[in-house]
């Protein structure tokens, strides 16, 4: 069964840091790009960023709202992706989901599956 499990969420003060993990199983993690998407309470889905596979040079990309503050990495030996969040703001409060990119960048592609999400609360 293809599965993603996030962890690492919690309460952090504004300006603080937090690192989320996304543990994958049931598929060839090393060959897959991984994305992070967040959702503030009662709001819609917001793409955060992604990391491609080794074959694609581990290329990363970020939403404008988090660029320069968030960093996505991966450890293929552990089948895990990470989201390092620095200089956190109250508006970063959300449930953070990791999801697998399926398809190809120059062809049809989609997100499947999604993890269960982990809640990050930025508050003093």
Partner 1 sequence: DIQMTQSPSSLSASVGDRVTITCRASQSISSYLNWYQQKPGKAPKLLIYAASSLQSGVPSRFSGSGSGTDFTLTISSLQPEDFATYYCQQSYSTPPDTFGQGTRLEIK
By CB under 8 A, name the binding residues for partner 1.
Answer: 35, 37, 44-47, 49-50, 61-64, 97, 99, 102-103, 105, 108-117
24-94-29 Cα angle (round to 5): 15
Least distance from partner 1 to the Cβ atom of residue 13, Å: 26
Closest by alpha carbon to 85, among 13, 5, 30?
13
Residue 119: strand pairing partners: 95
Q: Tell me whether residue 13 or residue 101 sits nearer to partner 1 (CB atom).
A: 101
Least distance from partner 1 to the Cβ atom of residue 6, Å: 9
Q: Tell me whether residue 2 or residue 17 sits nearer to partner 1 (CB atom).
A: 2
Report how far residue 33's alpha carbon sits from residue 29's, in angstroms, rounded to the nearest whole number. 8
Q: Which two tokens stand for residue 96?
A: 């953070």
Q: Tell me whether residue 16 or residue 26 sits nearer to partner 1 (CB atom).
A: 26
């Amino acid at each position: 069964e293809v599965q993603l499990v996030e962890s690492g969420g919690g309460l952090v003060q504004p300006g603080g840091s937090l690192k989320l993990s996304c543990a994958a199983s049931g598929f060839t993690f090393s060959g897959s790009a991984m994305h992070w998407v967040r959702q503030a309470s009662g709001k819609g889905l917001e793409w955060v960023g992604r990391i491609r596979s080794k074959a694609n040079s581990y290329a990363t990309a970020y939403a404008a709202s988090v660029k320069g503050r968030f960093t996505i990495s991966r450890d293929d030996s552990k089948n895990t992706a990470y989201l390092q969040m620095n200089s956190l703001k109250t508006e970063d409060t959300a449930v953070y989901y990791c999801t697998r990119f399926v398809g190809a960048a120059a062809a049809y592609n989609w997100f499947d599956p999604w993890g269960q999400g982990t809640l990050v609360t930025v508050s003093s």
